[in-house]
Amino acid sequence: MSARAEIPFTNEHFAAWCESMVGHGYWFGTCGYRATETLLRRKRGRYPKRYPRSMDAKYRRDIAAGEIVADCVGACKGYAWSGGGEAILAAFGHRGSVPMRYQSNGCPDKGADSLLAWAKKRGVPWGGIGTLPDVPGLCLHKQGHVGYTVGGGQAVEWRGTKRGCVRTVIADRPWTEWFALPFIDYGNAPLPRRKRTLRRGSGGAEVVELQELLNRQGAGLAVDGKFGKRTEAAVRVFQRGNGLKADGVCGERTWAALTR
């Protein structure tokens, strides 16, 4: 029986697993591995700037404790590659290595930024942080870093060697985007449908919605579902007033600002 048949891989299961990892260690370039001297030498050889000698005492404590370590994006990879995190949880009861299948269960070996690009290409729900729904198990992104929602406006993130895996308040952190992980089942979670980019010549129900939102800002548009000169001008005015590129095109950032 496959790991996916045994483990639900739902957003709730993933979020609960993330919470169970709070308090555990962070090592750059790891995905839920056992902290050992061999691992430290290998990772330091590959990422010398990420393993400063000033942190040796912390690394030695992790090794002495037999800690299981990951970095921010390595956490979701470790979850997938260890059969829904089960092998990682089981590893806390022994001192052996953590069994994993590389790139298994639909999860590729990507960095924080490339994981976002890969997920977008697969058509998952995503958006600016101002559109974040309160759904556990979503991935939060800022340049070079990710975290994971656990509900109630909170997230779990592997935040660096000093802090390790911690629970944080989403609003207190500089996240810019959120996205669903393609290898996680979100079931009937209320994820917003991606809105298409609107520009001069567009028409339909989404233009009606855009015009209604602009009218709440005092645009005074006729709500006719036709993206003409006046709608374009109103979009430019709104964009300028909200620090956006005033190109008259209603894309992801403009939608996010309008619906914030």
pTM, two decimals, is 0.76
> Does 1 score more than 70 pLDDT?
no
Q: How confident is the model over 19-77, as pLDDT tens digits?
A: 999 999 999 999 999 999 999 999 999 999 999 999 999 999 999 999 999 999 999 99
> Does 4 score more than 60 pLDDT?
no
Q: Going by CATH, does the domain composed of 205-259 fall within 1.10.101.10?
A: yes
**Region 199-222: what's the mean pLDDT?**
92
What mean pLDDT, rounded, does the chain reach? 93
Q: How confident is the model over 163-206, as pLDDT tens digits?
A: 999 999 999 999 999 999 999 999 999 887 667 899 999 998 88
**Region 138-161: what's the mean pLDDT?**
97
Amino acid 2: pLDDT: 44
List the domain boundaries for the chain. Answer: 3-179, 205-259
Q: Going by CATH, does the domain composed of 3-179 fall within 3.90.1720?
A: yes
Place of tokens 């028409």: 203
Question: Residues of the chain with pLDDT > 70: what percent?
Answer: 97
Amino acid 194: pLDDT: 67
